[in-house]
């Protein structure tokens, strides 16, 4: 098992280039199953989750060429099976995103039930509600789900999502593109990754309107062509580096960003007293020589404050003057980092979905566990501020979602090394 050893080496300083977004590239890769033609995806981050999705696509018969690591060429001329492989599915929850495309193209999909981050119950009822509305017959066993379209294939319908789930919106959108007639997804998720997927599908010949709003209209087409597309920059990685500059009281220029995608993070950092400016070549974050103060955070679906930045932001809030409240409304159990931050001296208390963060903490490095991807990032940030050494285990979570993590931090002057045990 590998570990990260992190030490406080003072303020971070310099430039960092953000990678393509993990949460955008995974659905794009799933969408390649919809066409028999070649799809080229550029700015693909080199991540564990991406390689699991590559294996997944190959298990369905995809030919993949990724000699140039940033570019991925996928061609799925024929689908060789519509059964998901449990060994792959259990490695990553997002693998469930292949269900919509398989059902749409082949009229059937069978998936063992997903694994992934341990952040509370992560049900799939809304995905299935969508498939059923499109006319599929869905069978749920204890350990699998099977969906079958009728003899005429899927049929367009109106679907209201009880919660604007990102994954359900993506899965239903992909199922509906080859359905007969028109589909409306209401109370749809509005995340930038949904817009990126809709753009990708439209370039393939789909007819999707309204992505990025709460109502998405999809007029079914009979087939999709190949596509060339560049993945949007990762807004969560962007936020993580903004917070790295803030927690170390440093000065960092963050390149390859979409400012609109990180508005709530920028607003909250400014409330704390951090300078954030949009320059021609990126986002400049300056937290040097000033007193930073507390703020309250409430996570929400986009365009609200992203749940994926809740734990890194909480790590930062432990270091500012005054106490803050952090409310998690998207996931039911996303405070596992609290225990680990408390082991470092943060003294955070939780009550149901609210964390009370006292601030002014003298964090001290110790042995901690990365319980999930973003919790891992939060602990690295805390380690960059803490006295003494922080030793973070279970870092495979971090490697699932952050490209060249150690390398990027070291370039900014952080003392961080990966050790194999
Ligand atoms: C995606 C992101 C993840 C992010 C999350 C919320 C990817 C690969 N992952 O996850 O990083 O934290 O969006 O921004 O893009 N829910 C249901 N029924 C369903 C589906 C979801 O009740 O059928 C609930 C979940 O339990 C959760 C909430 O909806 O409480 C949000 O989940 P969802 O938006 O679906 O997140 P993911 O797509 O899994």
pLDDT given for residue 121 in this prediction? 54
* Across 81-92, average pLDDT: 91
- Reported as a single tens digit per residue, the pLDDT across 154-185 is 999 999 999 999 999 999 999 999 999 999 99
Catalytic residue among 39, 106, 117, 272: 117
**Last residue in a domain, options 178, 199, 230:** 230
Nearest ligand 1 atom, CA 127: 23
One domain, residues 210 and 357: no
Crossing angle, helix 310-317 and helix 373-385, to 10 degrees? 20
Residue 122 has pLDDT above 80, yes or no: no
- Reported as a single tens digit per residue, the pLDDT across 373-408 is 999 999 999 999 999 999 999 999 999 999 999 999
**Last residue in a domain, options 212, 230, 248:** 230
Whether the Cβ atoms of residue 230 and residue 43 lie closer than 8 Å to each other:
yes
Nearest ligand 1 atom, CA 122: 26
One domain, residues 65 and 182: yes
Residue 150 has pLDDT above 70, yes or no: yes
Query: Which pairs from 265-272 meet CB under 8 Å and 24+ separation?
Result: 265/238, 265/239, 265/305, 265/306, 265/309, 265/313, 266/242, 268/295, 268/297, 268/305, 268/313, 269/242, 269/243, 271/295, 272/246, 272/316, 272/317, 272/320
One domain, residues 68 and 196: yes
Q: Average pLDDT of the chain?
A: 95
One domain, residues 210 and 299: no
* Across 98-127, average pLDDT: 81
- Distance, in Å, from the CA atom of 317 to the CA atom of 322, rounded to the nearest integer, reads 9
With the most atoms of ligand 1 within 8 angstroms of its CB, the residue from 45, 165, 337 to mutate is 165
Domain encompassing residue 339: 2-19+233-420
What's the predicted TM-score (pTM) here? 0.96
Task: Please indicate whether residue 84 or residue 69 has the higher confidence score (pLDDT).
Answer: 84
- Distance, in Å, from the CA atom of 307 to the CA atom of 375, rounded to the nearest integer, reads 11
Residue 240 has pLDDT above 60, yes or no: yes
pLDDT given for residue 114 in this prediction? 56
One domain, residues 286 and 345: yes
Q: How many angstroms separate the first and last alpha carbons of the chain?
A: 5
User: What's the gap in Å between 373 CA and the centre of ligand 1?
Assistant: 14
CATH code for the domain of 75: 3.65.10.10
Lowest average pLDDT, out of 4-8, 14-18, 138-142, 408-412, goes to 138-142
One domain, residues 270 and 239: yes
One domain, residues 133 and 220: yes
One domain, residues 243 and 375: yes
Residue 20 has pLDDT above 90, yes or no: yes
Nearest ligand 1 atom, CA 128: 23
Strand partners of residue 2: 420
One domain, residues 156 and 275: no
pLDDT given for residue 117 in this prediction? 43
pLDDT given for residue 39 in this prediction? 98
One domain, residues 176 and 325: no
User: What's the gap in Å between 301 CA and the centre of ligand 1?
Assistant: 9
Task: Please indicate whether residue 192 or residue 120 has the higher confidence score (pLDDT).
Answer: 192
**Last residue in a domain, options 230, 248, 268:** 230
One domain, residues 274 and 388: yes
**Known catalytic residue: 39?**
no
One domain, residues 302 and 273: yes
Nearest ligand 1 atom, CA 129: 23
Lining residues, ligand 1, CB within 6 Å: 23, 26, 94, 121-127, 163, 165-168, 189, 193, 307-308, 330-331
Residue 209 has pLDDT above 80, yes or no: yes
Residue 369 has pLDDT above 80, yes or no: yes
With the most atoms of ligand 1 within 8 angstroms of its CB, the residue from 163, 262, 335 to mutate is 163
Residue 119 has pLDDT above 50, yes or no: no
Band of pLDDT at residue 419, cut at 50, 70 and 90 = very high
With the most atoms of ligand 1 within 8 angstroms of its CB, the residue from 111, 122, 194, 240 to mutate is 122
Q: Tally the domains of the chain.
A: 2
């Amino acid at each position: 098992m590998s570990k990260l050893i992190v030490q406080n080496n003072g303020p971070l300083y310099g430039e960092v280039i953000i990678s393509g977004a993990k949460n955008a590239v995974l659905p794009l890769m799933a969408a390649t199953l919809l066409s028999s033609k070649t799809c080229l995806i550029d700015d693909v981050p080199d991540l564990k989750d991406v390689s699991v999705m590559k294996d997944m696509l190959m298990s369905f018969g995809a030919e993949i060429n990724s000699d140039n690591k940033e570019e991925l060429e996928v061609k799925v001329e024929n689908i060789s099976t519509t059964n998901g492989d449990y060994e792959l599915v259990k490695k990553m929850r997002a693998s469930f995103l292949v269900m919509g495309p398989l059902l749409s193209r082949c009229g059937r999909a069978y998936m063992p039930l997903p694994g992934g981050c341990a952040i509370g119950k992560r049900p799939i009822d809304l995905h299935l509600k969508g498939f059923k509305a499109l006319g599929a017959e869905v069978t749920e066993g204890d350990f699998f789900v099977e969906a079958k379209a009728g003899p005429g294939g899927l049929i367009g319908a109106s679907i209201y999502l009880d919660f604007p789930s990102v994954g359900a919106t993506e899965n239903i959108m992909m199922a509906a593109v080859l359905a007969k007639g028109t589909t409306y997804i209401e109370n749809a998720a509005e995340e930038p990754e949904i817009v990126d997927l809709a753009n990708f599908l439209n370039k393939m010949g789909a007819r999707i309107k309204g992505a990025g709003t709460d109502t998405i209209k999809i007029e079914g087409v009979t087939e999709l062509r190949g596509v060339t597309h560049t993945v949007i920059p990762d807004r969560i990685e962007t936020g993580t580096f903004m917070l790295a500059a803030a927690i170390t009281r440093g000065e960092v220029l963050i390149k390859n960003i979409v400012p609109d995608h990180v508005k709530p993070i920028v607003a909250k950092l400014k409330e704390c007293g951090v300078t954030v400016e949009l320059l021609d070549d990126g986002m400049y974050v300056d937290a040097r020589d000033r007193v930073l103060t507390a703020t309250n955070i409430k996570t929400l679906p986009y365009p609200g404050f992203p749940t994926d930045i809740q734990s890194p932001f909480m790590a930062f809030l432990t270091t500012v003057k005054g106490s803050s409240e952090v409310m998690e409304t998207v996931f039911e159990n996303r405070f596992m980092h609290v225990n680990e931050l408390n082991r470092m001296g943060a003294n955070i208390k939780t009550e149901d979905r609210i964390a009370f963060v006292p601030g002014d903490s003298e964090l001290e490095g110790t042995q901690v566990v990365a319980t999930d991807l973003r919790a891992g990032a939060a602990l690295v940030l805390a380690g960059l501020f803490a006295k003494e050494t922080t030793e973070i285990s279970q870092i495979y979570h971090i490697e699932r979602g952050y490209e060249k993590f150690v390398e990027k931090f070291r370039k900014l002057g952080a003392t961080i090394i990966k050790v194999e045990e």
